[in-house]
Amino acid sequence: MALARDIDASPSFPQGYDDRNCVFDDGTAAAISFQYAGGRTEWVFLELAGCGDLWSPGLFARDASAAVYRDLKPYAPHPWNTYVSARAR
């Protein structure tokens, strides 16, 4: 799936990264779940506003690439379209 591949390809934050000050962060985010054979589910959270952080609990923190936003565009409900479209360039 393109979305999973592009999440994995998004750049990782440097070791010791804690948090950034993102002035345009209004708290809008997407929770994405991937379900695997055997019943394992992995959650990925993506900030749609602000810095566009992407993380999975206990696994990684990344800077979401434009490709991730392009992949989400067909699935984005109407209120998210402005967030997803603006970053999908």
Residue 30: predicted pLDDT: 87
- The 8-class DSSP code of residue 54 comes to E
Confidence of residue 18 (pLDDT cuts 50, 70, 90): low
- Predicted confidence (pLDDT) per residue in 32-84, tens digit: 999 989 999 999 999 888 788 898 888 778 888 989 988 988 887 777 777 77
Confidence of residue 86 (pLDDT cuts 50, 70, 90): low
- The pLDDT of residue 1 is above 90: no
DSSP 14-38: PTT------TT--S-EEEEEEE-TT
